[in-house]
Amino acid sequence: MGSTFGKILKLSIFGESHSPAIGGVMEGLPSGSTIDSDRLHVFMQRRAPSTHVSSTTRMESDSVEFLSGVLNGKTTGTPLAFIIRNSDFRREDYSDISSVPRPGHADYTGKIKYYGYNDPSGGGHFSGRLTAPLCCAGGIAIQLLEKEGIRVSARIVRIGAVTDVSEFCEESAQPVPIKMLDEIEKARAEGDSLGGIIECSINGLPAGLGDPMFDGLENTISQAVFAIPGVKGIEFGDGFRLAEMKGSQANDAFCVNDGRISHLSNHAGGINGGISNGMPVVVRLAVKPTPSISLLQQSVNMDTLEETSISVHGRHDACIVPRAVTCAEAACALAILDAILLRRSEAYGH
- The pLDDT tens digits of the residues spanning 64-121 come to 999 999 999 999 999 999 999 987 665 555 556 678 999 999 999 998 998 888 777 7
The DSSP bridge pattern shows strands 254-257 and 70-71 to be unpaired
**Which pLDDT score, from 0 to 100, does residue 279 have?**
98
**Domain containing residue 76: CATH number:** 3.60.150.10
269 pLDDT higher than 60:
yes
Average pLDDT over residues 230-257: 97
- The pLDDT tens digits of the residues spanning 171-199 come to 444 468 888 999 999 999 999 999 999 99
Q: What is the pTM of this model?
A: 0.91
Please give the span between the terminal C-alpha atoms of the chain, in angstroms, as a whole number: 30
Task: Quote the domain boundaries for residue 217.
Answer: 4-349
**Which pLDDT score, from 0 to 100, does residue 235 have?**
98
- The pLDDT tens digits of the residues spanning 195-235 come to 999 999 999 999 999 999 999 999 999 999 999 999 999 99
**Which pLDDT score, from 0 to 100, does residue 338 have?**
98
Number of structural domains found in the chain? 1
CB 10: neighbour CB atoms within 10 A?
16
